[in-house]
Every structure is written in structure tokens, then in C-alpha cells.
Amino acid sequence: MWTHAHVHHWIAQPDRWDAVLSIPDEVNAVVVDLGSFTVKVGYAGEDTPKHVFPSLTLAGIDPKSQALGSIDSPPNGDAMEVDGVGPSGRTFKVGTASLAVPQDGLEVISPFSEAGVLEDWDALEALYNHAFKDQLRLDLKEHPLMLGEPSNTPRPVREKQVELLFERYDTPAVFLAKNAVLSAFSTGRQTALVVDAGHAQTMVAAVHDGYVLQKSVIRSPLGGALLTRCLMHSVQSGGTRIHPRFDFQRVETVPGQFEVKYEARKYRGPDGELHAVTATDSYRRHTVLSIAQDLKDAVCRVSDGPFDPEENANIPQVTYELPDGQEIQVGADRFAVPEALFNPGLLARYGAEGAPDDAAPAPAPLQAAVNECVARCDVDARRELYANALLTGGTAGFASLRERLEREVTEAAPALARVKLVSPSNPVERRYSVWIGGSVLASLGSFQQMWMSKAEYAEYGPGLIHKKAP
């Protein structure tokens, strides 16, 4: 694990800091990893996030809109919902429970653009309110904040993030750390070639002596969401309709026997009465994709070598039961869908939203992105990067992905390169590596001089973050 000795060289660099901020040891810093799929939040020094909830929100223009609770939903627990009106007048509902049932007129909104850049700041504020007020139940003015961010985050976005955290939440100090750096730190590395296979994208970045080499950063749309859309398209084009859970009810016809009735479920509202709810198109799509993702996670795996779905059309099928009881058979697509990571030309087979068409070239294969990332770095650093490759993120959980990617990168790498790709075997460490790295870093006594304080913000403005946390 990361230690004071590991970080000492990274901190003690001449002329790096204009000021020193002292954070008392007894004040726990808050660590946030704002991912494209989930938000992870908790306290520095802990092994895992305290709360994890979806990065999506429900948003509508009617501030009087009221949430409806499922007649058979369990108690919310950590999956609490929050109602609030953003500066634009939109109403937001956040949390697992809020996304579990349809809401009249509310659309599913992500704070990120299709390019993975923060753009909806009202939605982001709703996520922060849920994290700090409803989940951690704290006042951020008493806690410094460590925030992980994508390695390619534009400078104006970083500055606006700093402004929001100081002005809206009155935090005493902020540090924005690149995701690739935090993932490397989570495994005790100052130098690493980080492949972060996430939901909306895969980011490949070289980290050297605790810094991201910005010229090396490569973003690929080859992420879990695109693969989920491909599998959904395959299932539906085969004649199977995936029904959202709110589109049907299981009715007990005789003791022990149930029949599925395809009719809209009713939900109990604040008045205690049952109401029919009309789901928006975005909500319906969200729920169908959630089912397709469960299917993908259950049946898909990476082939040991290149996989041609046409040549393997007769591969043995596996049976999967959808929530409404339909049973489907999945054959070659079990391997063909994740094969798109290595052969993006397969995306055209599915015609899924977000897949390239004839007018747009397919993205580069994942192994090509890895080698291109290294090629952008100085020659003297390349051997060490190849020997310290790290695969993290939610999509990294595909069976055999690590082994296959290591082989593919090795085949395309320079002859003298010795590729060593590791990935945490523990799914929690693999999925939450950014948050864990932030937790370790922010808890170190030797790190406390690195925060950007509110006093510094007031004197120098948000642009100082580029010097304090480059």
C-alpha cells in the first residue's frame, strides 16, 4: 500500500507551492469519485467508500413534482432520494430509490456530455447535495475535499468545479487529482500505464513520478455502456422485447403459481392512493439498459484469442431469464460483444446507438490505444510504463480481459518491451481504485500541505488549482 515514503518525493518539490495549509489530523477529509456510472463518497483513511449511488439524476421543470414510492419497494436505507430545485428551476431527484420507479414527466439526466466532460452543473450540484447532506450528513465547511477527475478534464471545467465547491459548499480546502494518478497510488505505484475501463469511456494515461503526462492521455468511447447497447440491440433485433419492470406485474393465479400481466404498475403516492405513472422515453430506455447490463454482466466474457462471430455461430448457447420470466438464448454474442474492445469493426454488426456507422470510422482498438499512449511518451520512460501497466474500472471485470489485453499489447509493442499488465483481483479494489487512491493520499500527514485553501482561492482565484494540483 501507499506510504509516506512513497509520496515524499512527489510532495517535496522545489517552488511548487506558494502557501502551506495546515489541516488538523482529527478533521477527516471527504473523498469523492464522480464516475460516469456511480458516485463514490466517503472519508479519507477508510478502505472503501461509505456510499455509492448512481451518477444519473431525474430532472423535470415542474418544482411541484412529487416522487411516488413503489407499493412493494424495500426501505430506502442508503438509497435515499433527495428533492431539490436547481438554479435553473428544474427539480432533481437523486439516489437509487428515486431511479427505481418511474416519475411523471421526469427525464434521466447525466451531468456529463457524450464526450465525458461535465456540462450540467445543476445536475452535478444535485449529486453533491445528495452525497454530502443526505448520505454523509455533514456540513462540508468542516471538511476538506479530495475530488478525483478524468485525466483529460479541460481547464475551464476544473476552475468551475473549484468555484462551485468553495462558493456553494464553503469547504475549507480542495484538491483535484487526476483519476489515473489515484488509481496508480491505490496500488502503490508512482509510475504506471493506467487503463481505466469505465462505463461511458476508457481512458488510457501514463503516470510518471505521480503526474499524468497530459500528452499521453487517450480517451476511447469503448466503454461498458456502448457494449451494453450492442447487446440490447442484439436481443431486441432477435425478436425479444425487454420489458421494464414497471410494465408488468406478477399475479398469483393459484397458490404457488404466478402469471405475468403486461400492464402498467401503479405506485402509491404521498396521498396514500395508487396512481398510474407515465414514464418518459429516457426513463424507459434507462430501465431497459439496466436489464441489458445485468444480462451482459452475467453471460459475456472475453475470448482468449481473436473471435469471429460468423465462424463461431454455432457456439453453445446459455440461457438467461429476464425479469418478466422470458428466457433467452445467448450464443456468439457472449464473446462478440466484448470482442469489440479489440476489434471495434464489430460494432457495426449491432447498429447500436453510439456505434460508428459507414460515415464515421470505428474507434481504435484498445490495444492500439495503449501502445499509442506509450508512444507519446519520452523514449526513456516507455520501458518502465510497459512494465507497470494497470487495468482498472468497472468494465475491467470481464473474465479474461486482463490476460487478453496483455497479449494483444505485447504483440503490437516494440520488440524489446516487456509488458506486465496487472489488475486488482478484488472487484472492490478494481472498481473503486480512484476512490481508494484518493482516500490513501488525503489521509497522509505529509499531504496536508498540498491542499488549495479557501483563503488562496479568495486571493488568487480558481485558476490557482492548475498550479496546486496540476
pLDDT, tens digit (0-9, with 9 covering 90-100), for 121-174? 999 999 999 999 999 999 999 999 999 999 999 999 999 999 999 999 999 999
106 and 8 together in one domain: yes
Same domain flag for 38 and 168: yes
Residue 255 in domain: no
Confidence band, pLDDT 50/70/90 cuts, at residue 23: low
Is residue 410 included in any domain, yes or no? Answer: no
196: pLDDT strictly greater than 60: yes
Residue 340, domain member (yes or no) = yes
Do 127 and 232 fall within a single domain?
Answer: no
Of 319, 349, 379, which residue constitutes the final position of a domain? Answer: 349
Does residue 233 share a domain with residue 137? no
Does 70 share its domain with 10?
yes
Residue 209 lies in a domain: no
- Only one residue has cell 483563503, namely 455
C-alpha cell at 153: 478534464
Residue 37 lies in a domain: yes
Last residue of a domain, one of 316, 349, 382: 349
Average pLDDT over residues 367-389: 98
Mean pLDDT across the stretch 259-286? 85
Residue recorded with cell 403486461: 262
117 belongs to a structural domain? yes
> Quick check: is 202 in a domain?
no
**Within this chain, do residues 149 and 235 fall inside the same structural domain, yes or no?**
no
pTM for the full predicted model: 0.89
148 and 240 inside one domain: no
Backbone phi and psi for residue 135, each to the nearest 5 degrees, phi listed first: -95, -60
Q: Are 218 and 201 in contact (CB under 8 A)?
A: no
CATH number at residue 286: 3.90.640.10
What average pLDDT does the segment 269-290 reach? 88
Better-scored residue on pLDDT, 370 or 360:
370
Which of 315, 349, 383 is where one domain is finished?
A: 349
> In which band, very low, low, confident or very high, does the pLDDT at 69 lie, cut at 50, 70 and 90?
very low
Tell me the torsion sign for CA atoms 227, 233, 239, 245.
positive
111 backbone dihedrals φ, ψ, rounded to 5°: -75, -10
Give the model's pLDDT for residue 155: 98
Q: Is 141 helix (H, G, I), strand (E, B) or coil?
A: helix
pLDDT at 71: 31
Q: Are residues 17 and 154 in the same domain?
A: yes
Pick left, alpha or beta for residue 379 (phi over 0 → left; psi -120 to 50 → alpha; otherwise beta).
alpha
Cα–Cα dist 229/351, whole Å: 9
Of residues 268 and 145, which shows the higher confidence score?
145
168 with 50, same domain: the answer is: yes
CATH number of the domain bearing residue 54: 3.30.420.40
- Do residues 112 and 29 share a domain? yes
> CA–CA separation, 216 vs 212, rounded Å?
8
Same domain flag for 21 and 159: yes
pLDDT digits (tens, 9 = 90+) for 396-438: 999 999 999 999 999 999 998 999 999 999 999 999 999 999 9
Question: Of 331-335, 346-350, 371-375, 465-469, where does mean pLDDT reach its minimum?
Answer: 346-350
Give the tens place of pLDDT for each residue, 221-233.
999 999 999 999 9
Same domain, 175 and 283: no
* Count of structural domains, the chain: 2
Is 54 a domain residue? yes
Mean pLDDT of the chain: 89
Domain that includes residue 290, residue range: 224-244+279-349
